[in-house]
Amino acid sequence: MGKSRLDGKVALITGGARGMGASEAQLFIDEGARVIITDILDDDGKKTAARLSADGKSCIFLHHDVTSESDWDAVLKESLAAFGQIDILVNNAGIFERGTVLDTSLAMFERTMDINVTGVFLGMKTVSPHMVQRKTGSIINISSVAGLNGTPGFLAYGASKW
């Protein structure tokens, strides 16, 4: 097998404790990248990182609330201390809560927007200066077909993915 485009790269994947984020982390590691997975699910995140890299050389876990600017700053600092660079940011963290306009509370709508939209913005805002300084980097923002058309019961989620 030839050299992968991800050999020697470092990826930061939010929402990486389980599901799509954990699968993305596995794929990146299989392609030669080192990975930082972040999440608020500490136990799941630690287990996933240990499963993906028992020695901690290919994958580490960091606690991270994507809605917190100070958490983003801490994750950037800890990631650079661990691996020296970030080449790829995957804004994967997100939530889905079913609700129509009649039964979605303002708090539920704001929570969905904070995680699915503000979290993505904070990630780009925090990591992009490092990438600009290095003159290299990729940012991948995970979206959904739910943002393409209205779907009953997907009010906040659909708005956040639009």
What's the residue count for the chain?
A: 162
Q: Radius of gyration over alpha carbons of the chain, in Å?
A: 16
User: Helix (H, G, I), strand (E, B), or coil: what is residue 8?
Assistant: coil
**Residue 1 pLDDT exceeds 70:** no
Mean pLDDT of 135-155: 86
The catalytic position among 76, 157, 158, 160 is: 157
Which pLDDT value is given to residue 146? 74
> What is the mean pLDDT of the segment spanning 138-157?
85
pLDDT bucket at 43, cuts 50 / 70 / 90? very high
Share of the chain above pLDDT 70, in %: 99
pTM for the whole structure: 0.94
157 catalytic residue (yes or no):
yes
